[in-house]
Structure 1
Amino acid sequence: MEKYFLTRVSAAALDPARASQPDNIREHRWWTLAERRATAETVCPLGLADLVTGVLAHGAPMRPVVLAG
């Protein structure tokens, strides 16, 4: 199981070379929610755009959320 953490950062603050396993990163991209919803590409975890939309509307969930693989 993979774990993802939600945080607010600027695009300029992201540096994949500083990741703990940078060789596992195939690509990175800054997505707007509209772009994420509109893409035909498979982006994991599935359901991420809906989760982020809910967080923006209602705040962070009180418990971890399990998303489809």
Structure 2
Amino acid sequence: MSKRTYDDSFRKMAVDLSHNRGSVKEVADEHGINDSLLSKWRQRDSGSKQSPVALNPDKKTAKGA
């Protein structure tokens, strides 16, 4: 059995749906994917949405620190 691959647009759609519905399992079952895989995609997505800390260019430290 070969490993299925999913394109970025499918991943984004599944992650967005799971956030909107509040259920990973429901969306995973509906789209034929493993719920643990969808959970991993959600974790990656939430990590990429965190804004980076702005650095003070003179001191190379976080502003306000």
- Return the TM-score normalized by structure 2: 0.34
Larger radius of gyration: 2
- Return the TM-score normalized by structure 1: 0.32
The answer to which structure, 1 or 2, has the higher relative contact order (CA under 8 A, 6+ apart) is 1
Tell me which protein shows more helix as a share of its residues: 2
Tell me which protein shows more strand as a share of its residues: 2
